Amino acid sequence: MADGQRLQRVKPIHWIGVVVAAVLLLVAVVLVPGTAGAPVPASCPQRWDSDRIGRWVPAAADLDGVADSLVPGEPAGALICAYPGHNTKPGRPLAGSRTLTDQAASMAHDLGYLPVTTDPPEMVCTLVGGQVTNYLIRFAYPDGQALWVGSAEEVNSCVMTTNGTVVSNAYVGPSITAAYRTGTWRLLPPKGPCEPATGRRGQDEQMVPDGAIKVLICRQVPRNSTPSPSPGREYGERQARELAAELNSLDAEPSRSVCEEVGGRRREVLHLHFGYAEGPPAWVRILPACRPSVDNGMLMSDANVAFLDRIGRLAPA
């Protein structure tokens, strides 16, 4: 009975679009490290040799920076290996490959900016069955070294990407699919400026990494169970850094992607997108009617009423 009562109190927040199915699976994601220093294969493995979606590589590279970035340094080429299948049985034979040369540096740059951690957060995934394509990407370096990155495009968009040492929960599957099909890499932007993007490296240590020069604040209000988007309101460097400092001062812990709804406050979602001179924005989601109220996909924390009220005043009506 105690377990049942606990499950009734802690509710995934369906009305913000974080969870889109009635039945949820809380997945404790476990990092499966490769063998550090093991030889990195020079060609695509003939099979996706794992029952996991995305988060597998045939060997972990022994390269400087692999504990801080998915793709450190400046590789000279990239080989994309595709393994299409079904998410109930992701292990499948190799279907094809695509080699990128002049696009490899750009791909490495974008993947290298994704937030990573050695302690993966839990993820809430919908249980929709459907197609999945697992990908292995072999980055080759001018000195002869190489590194594998494992990722996937999956019907639930619930994927961990890994280099065998660190993982990221930023979803880049559609971008990899586009690069595999066209031979051109481009990190696909979110559908709108107020939609959460991939996040930024360092968000496993700080809610907002240092150096923000602007912030876009957006408000979504649920209407008939579907959040209604509103135009964002942008502020400059002073406001961005003040808000970042306040968010970083909160006591944070690894995100669990769920929260407990509380009464007394408006049911809405506030998205903060912190922009930088270079690289992707860092996004933070604030749920004033939920505890914990602050989450960036890697960390979560709870803000006091005064801070929540201040963000509410800064957001567009």
Query: Which mean pLDDT values do the consecutive 10-residue runs of the chain (317 residues) have?
Result: 34 38 30 42 90 93 94 95 91 93 94 91 77 96 95 93 95 97 93 88 96 96 63 95 97 87 83 95 94 94 94 92
What's the confidence (pLDDT) of residue 125? 76
Written as one string, the DSSP assignment of 166-179 is -EE----HHHHHHH
pLDDT in the model for residue 128: 85
**Is 258 domain-assigned?**
yes
Where in the chain does DSSP place strands (E)? 24-27, 77-86, 96-100, 123-126, 131-140, 146-154, 161-162, 167-168, 214-223, 226-228, 233-235, 252-254, 260-261, 269-275, 282-286, 290-291, 294-295, 299-301
In a domain, 198, yes or no: no
Residue range(s) defining the domain that contains residue 48: 12-182
Kindly state whether residues 55 and 118 are assigned to the same domain. Answer: yes
d(CA 317, CA 310): 13
| Domain annotation covers residue 249 | yes
Ramachandran quadrant class, 19 (left: phi over 0; alpha: psi -120 to 50; beta: rest): beta
pLDDT value of position 229: 58
User: What pLDDT was estimated at residue 104?
Assistant: 94
Considering the domain boundaries, does residue 132 fall inside one?
A: yes
**Residue 308 identity:** L
Angle in degrees, 0-180, between the axes of helices 305-314 and 237-248, rounded to the nearest 10: 160
Residue 194 lies in a domain: no
- Number of residues assigned to the chain: 317
User: Residue 223 has what pLDDT?
Assistant: 65
Q: Are residues 31 and 173 in the same domain?
A: yes
Co-location of 257 and 170 in the same domain: no
- Are residues 274 and 152 both part of a single domain? no
Residue at 4 is within a domain: no
Domains in the chain, number:
2
16: which DSSP letter? G
Write down the residue that tokens 């979110």 correspond to. 190
| Tokens representing residue 239 in the block | 């406001």
Q: Are residues 94 and 220 in the same domain?
A: no
Mark whether 176 and 270 lie in a shared domain.
no
Alpha-carbon distances of 304 from 166, 210, 251, 252, 265, rounded to whole Å: 32, 22, 11, 13, 13
At a CB cut-off of 8 Å and minimum separation 6, what does 4 contact? none
> What pLDDT does 21 receive?
33
What per-residue confidence (pLDDT) applies to 54?
Answer: 94
Residues 168 and 225 placed together within one structural domain of the fold: no
155 & 29 share domain: yes
The domain boundary, picked from 182, 204, 230, lies at 182
Yes or no: say if 249 and 224 are a contact pair by the CB < 8 Å rule.
no
122 domain-assigned: yes
Indicate whether 161 and 80 sit together in one domain: yes
User: Which pLDDT value is given to residue 57?
Assistant: 96
CA dist 211 → 7, 111, 258, 273 (Å)? 40, 19, 29, 13
Q: Please tell me whether residues 144 and 281 are part of one structural domain.
A: no
Is 205 a member of any domain?
A: no
Please tell me whether residues 305 and 250 are part of one structural domain.
yes
Q: Are residues 53 and 176 in the same domain?
A: yes
Residue (of 106, 174, 90) closest to 139 by Cα position: 106
What is residue 164's DSSP assignment?
S
